[in-house]
Structure 1
């Protein structure tokens, strides 16, 4: 290296300098070929005709190191719910499986989200990864969506804070996290040919607001557009999303990477704001390879645009410390400590939906417990796809397929049956798979309590067809309840399911996909070692007919996976039906009853609220909270806003805080209010009209506890983050 290059190297490798200047200096030092090697890369997993690139650890993506410049390779791993190992590309490698993001959303606990994010960051870095593909922030507009377990909730505020906390936790470990799938990408069936059609104002007030808040909180190093189109334009080359909103309005400085096999053009994509073609071997051609080289040579794409794409990547790597603290395989991982965190996350997210006659918590002096279904003797169900994590000892069954890679149906090795046996060693615990209804019903009659594990597997690449429990489970619940009136249902469903049977059983737990500590967490809730504090992150409808789009896309009429030619017309989905009123706001607007609303959850203790106190400028509100019950517990203080005289302004969550209190303990709880949720988009501004607004503490989206009304002046805020905020 000559003297000039050495001087530059010292400049960009100086940790005292700011990430932007370091990134610009490093970009100047790179050759054209080096720059090109970082804008297009293959999937680093053998399959679909590809081989693992030389130097790659083996995972989602790889971009080569530049040793002469002191720059490490980009080793990228799937990491929505832990460090993935699709197709066992790293033979025998294990990882901690976190609860699903939806379960994390049910915790209403951003601090817990940050802590679980740190688990991903630590394990990723110890395995040699410096970029992880996490941060799912799409809203649950489609409750039958195959991938919704990777997302947080149907609410923008909750989603923004939980996803942002997760990203912040990952990046605190010197690892870049993405945020995805940008934007409005709620369906898997037909995902590579669906256009999500919606007005700009409604989009900015809902899905984009969730991403905006998550980016503000987490500062993710990369943004990943989805496979879908938005208003007729592929998300990966949508200038409105990637340039106008992300760059011009939000001032985002990281890079935009495509999803794997989601790039469609060269010039349009890069000039609209896409910086990297990921999984280029899945696309019909390497758009950011030779075609981009030619476009730069002819001047169709300015060379400065290539520099910009590289600088954005380097800036993010420098900002999180991925260059100063390079990741190396073979690091030490405390799997037991991480499993304990995963267990606490599951305990914080399990929702007690029903508890008639205080059946729960169960007594530890029962003689006989019958546990039925869902391989509860082996583990807890997880979702399928690129987010799948397979700790050592997982049960793996045939599932689906993605781009030539099998997607297994995995049960994480945290057996509820074993966990129950450990808690009640003097009780006879019997497991039955439930396939013989008559035989298991006979066993139910002889048990003190029956615990039925209901399951619905969801996976990337396909939506579930309908919201009913499959494989005769609904009939079996009815039969077990008839045989034993103390039948408890535990849901492992990764999202909402219809519950026409819910009043036939006295107790229901929503356990989502609970991860590496899930079995122990479920047992701890059942027997009262832990007081349930989760709240529903979505609305459970009474009927699919009540949804904004009751009819589903026929999977036989569409293409759902990248790598397959889209030889059919684009399917346009109308999301202006509900617009910004996603989930509980849709049900409020239509006046439809629901089985369980967003924010609902029971406890083994009781809480009382004092009057709600509001500050004049509504920056925050406060309320006195007391645990008046017999045991310690955590309450989620939920603040909803309404506008007097405006029927179009649906009640919406504007602030929340989770508080733990001992029996008899009182605390004054301050809750920050998100002003944008009281406003609407008008032109280039958020505008809150002058008027009377009511703030209510609610136990869920439908049930007020206490509140106050105050007159507020007109308030505006520019959409642009570099403009004055107030």
Structure 2
């Protein structure tokens, strides 16, 4: 019997006697297993049947990975977290895994997994369907490997392009990020897996993350980072939210009553549970009363297991009421019932090759063509020699590091790269661009790029040179600058001097400085490309599919353009002391493209920017209102070029007297040559609103609003004015 089958059998055995529970007329041994009841009622029933010891067992998860002093308990899958079974109640063991881009631990089939490209690539698709498909993919793999809870749903905004975890997230705009992550969460949970939106909140730097205070005005926070979380939760209905490591205005996120109780649970109506990050708990009763529901791996990462003896003592003294303990457990149990974790024992084997196609498609939708002088791309399928240079393109594509790094089912083709320890190891996915470019093109050669002179010689002997450059980033540190490492600028300069028909493919965490930009023919941002990345890059370069990604973040010229030109203590293994406080009031809610507009700075590439292999024209732009009085933009998009492609018309709104515009809507439109389509773009009400702190609600002021049709945040194609009456939009979790 396979491990998957064995685990399914055990889960069924633990739930023995409940098969007839779906029939309300029959006696039910465990009434909480009656699927005809609501998740809330089922949770109430099981909490009422629990002993205090069983309740305390549910509000803490152990570290799931192999312990040094002995084997893991039965049922543990060597993942991020584990909760033992409670057979008396018919509860199976529960396994958690990191899975921002794919399942990071082998699970019950003892194989690696398939990784999506970076979250920024999915966001760059500007297509919720791409995010939804990716969510279903990683949710299905997690379920097939025996997991129940995914630590997946990162929605922290890109306030700084040097943040080491930007590749896990969805960019700088709260409406885009919330929409994309919400779609991914929805896809994950359709596979009967709990998704976890994280890291709540404003964990926008890694340097000093365990101690720094993210200082920001509460209104600005609501209109930026919290808006992204609010939309992701409303659109995705995650079972869990993970509190972040950092402090917010001096208070740890896991002890933040305003954040967890007032905003998340009361105002937004979140019915799931709040888990801590690993090592993010600092107290027992204080954290529990502030809204934290579950401590994660406290025996390994916290100073002590605060949700065991300290919380039991607080319960005995009356400091911590029994009703709050019951609420914590009910939230966890309701989530498990609501998302099918306790009802569906079926776990299908992982379809790795089909999943690799999902990952490939995501990068094809999200790679961004930044430059293409003289139509250098796409490459010719015949009669053109190509020299591929650098980036281990003969072996695979780079992955980001830290807890989200996926061990590819095909192995690591470039082992031993430093750092080999945390937050490494540095990993590559075995999807080699060279292999797929040889299948699609004519004469294709390879040079490792370790010697700029040799690379230049190889480039001079080819019709076109394609240089792959990389910059590794990871959880737990930020890069101190935007420069490419390892003398790669000199490599590109040498190749471009030898052959002006040079294409640069970037495998990075986001923006980098490009001093050679004007001397190369084309540049494509491939982010961290994922398990299907090599094939996707080849198909994009050769025009099998056309690039259609748009930047989900602004691309600065250099660090001086950022709100904080330097990050104190940044860098891998830096010995410098991190800042105690980070002042986000500098930009407040004006993150990214709004910061550039507010300060009248011109980025290298604007938010929403991206090229393709065809051209599009807009006509008949109009704005009216739907039956509820909400504004809707309309535009006809026509493919005026010679190849098929996809365009992303974007709608930005500026209220009368406002300093900056806001993305309020967009559409991803795929068209064949000569085809046109009329598209309707509803505008997000919260993009039109400001938060009224005194009244405690969102407020759309009566008046006129400028509505701009644009190709990017700075490339406006048309403008209309719409007059709106006063309204108070409300967005709550389902």
Q: TM-score, normalised by structure 2?
A: 0.93
**In the alignment, what sits opposite 1:445?**
460
Q: Measure how far apart 1:41 and its partner are.
A: 2.5
Q: Deviations over 1:662-689 (max 9, x none)?
A: 1111111011111111111112121222
Q: CA deviation at 1:67?
A: 2.2
Partner of 2:564: 549
TM superposition shift of 1:585: 0.5
Q: Which residue of 2 aligns with 1:651?
A: 661
d(CA) in 1 for partners of 2:86, 2:555: 51
Q: Give the whole-Å Cα distance in 2 for the aligned partners of 1:349 and 1:654.
A: 20
The answer to whether the aligner puts 1:397 opposite 2:406 as a matched pair is: no
- Note closer, same or farther for the CA distance 1:291–1:202 as it changes in structure 2 (3 Å cut): same
Residues 713 and 141 (structure 1), Cα distance of their counterparts in 2 relative to 1, 3 Å cut: same
For the Cα contact (< 8 Å) 1:46–1:89, is it kept in 2? no
- The whole-number CA distance in structure 2 between the counterparts of 1:718 and 1:89 is 41
In the superposition, the TM-score normalised over structure 1's length comes to 0.94
Structure 1 pair 620/2, CA: closer, same or farther in 2 (3 Å)?
closer
Root mean square deviation, CA, Å: 2.3
Residue in 2 that maps onto 1:319? 338
Query: Could you tell me whether the CA contact under 8 Å between 1:57 and 1:75 is conserved in 2?
Result: yes
Deviations 1:439-491 (A, max 9, x none): 11111111111100110101011111200111111111111100001110000
Does residue 423 of the first structure (1) align with residue 423 of the second (2)?
no
1:53 to partner: Cα distance:
3.6
CA distance in 2, matches of 1:107, 1:713: 33
Match of 1:579 among 584, 588, 592: 588
Q: In the alignment, what sits opposite 2:505? A: 490
2:380 counterpart residue number: 363
Rounded Cα–Cα distance in structure 2 between residues aligned with 1:351 and 1:709: 31
Match of 2:137 among 97, 115, 119: 119
Measured against aligned partners, the alpha-carbon deviations of 1:134-191 in whole angstroms (never above 9, x if no partner) come to: 0000000111000110000100011001000000000001110000001111111111
1:677 to 667, 674, 687: 687
- 2:32 is the counterpart of 1:12: yes
Aligned to 2:92: 72
Deviation for aligned residue 1:364: 1.4
Match of 1:45 in 2: 65
- Distance in 1, matches of 2:46 and 2:551, equals 47
Which position in structure 2 is the counterpart of 1:260?
A: 278
Rate the CA distance shift 1:60–1:536 in 2: closer, same or farther, 3 A. Answer: same
Matches of 1:587 and 1:327, distance apart in 2 = 51
Q: Residues 25 and 558 from structure 1, CA distance in 2 versus in 1: closer, same or farther, beyond 3 angstroms?
A: farther
- For 2:41, the equivalent position in structure 1 comes to 21
The one of 288, 298, 322 aligned to 2:307: 288
Aligned residues: 705
> 2:162 maps to which residue?
144
Whether 1:385 aligns to 2:402 is: yes
Cα contact 1:44–1:51 (8 A) shared by 2: no
Moved more, 33-42 or 306-315: 33-42
Is 1:641 aligned to 2:653, yes or no? Answer: yes
Q: Deviations over 1:571-623 (max 9, x none)?
A: 11000100000001000100111110110001111111112221233432211
Distance 1:65 1:619 in 2: 51
**Structure 1 stretches of at least 4 aligned residues deviating more than 4 Å after TM superposition:** 5-9, 47-51, 88-92, 399-402, 555-560, 567-570, 718-722
**Structure 1 position 126, deviation (Å):** 0.7
Alignment of 1:221-232 (within 5 A): 221-232=239-250
User: In the alignment, is residue 194 of structure 1 matched against residue 204 of structure 2?
Assistant: no
Aligned to 1:563: none
Distance 1:308 1:558 in 2: 42
SS in 2 for 1:338: helix
Structure having the higher strand fraction is 1
Tell me, yes or no, if the aligned pair for 2:652 and 2:707 is still in contact at 8 Å. yes
| Alpha-carbon spacing, 1:549–1:53, altered in 2? closer, same or farther (3 Å) | farther
- Does the 8 Å contact 2:112/2:411 carry over to 1? no
Match of 1:249 among 245, 248, 267: 267
Cα gap change, 1:462 to 1:489, in 2 (>3 Å): same
Match of 2:324 among 293, 299, 305: 305
Question: Mean Cα displacement is larger for which, 635-644 or 577-586?
Answer: 635-644
Cα distance between partner residues in 2 of 1:588 and 1:609: 24
The separation in 2 between residues aligned to 1:422 and 1:316, in whole angstroms, is 47
2:600 to 565, 572, 591: 591
Q: 1:675 to 1:556 in 2, by over 3 A?
A: closer
SS at match of 1:450: strand
Match of 1:354 in 2: 371
2:516 aligned with 1:501: yes
Match of 1:472 among 476, 484, 487: 487
Change beyond 3 A, Cα 1:703–1:440: same
Gapped runs of 5+ residues in structure 1? 561-566
Partner of 2:9: none
Instruction: Classify the secondary structure of the residue corresponding to 2:565.
Output: coil
The residue number in structure 2 matching 1:609 is 618
Measured after TM superposition, the shift of residue 548 of structure 1 is 0.3
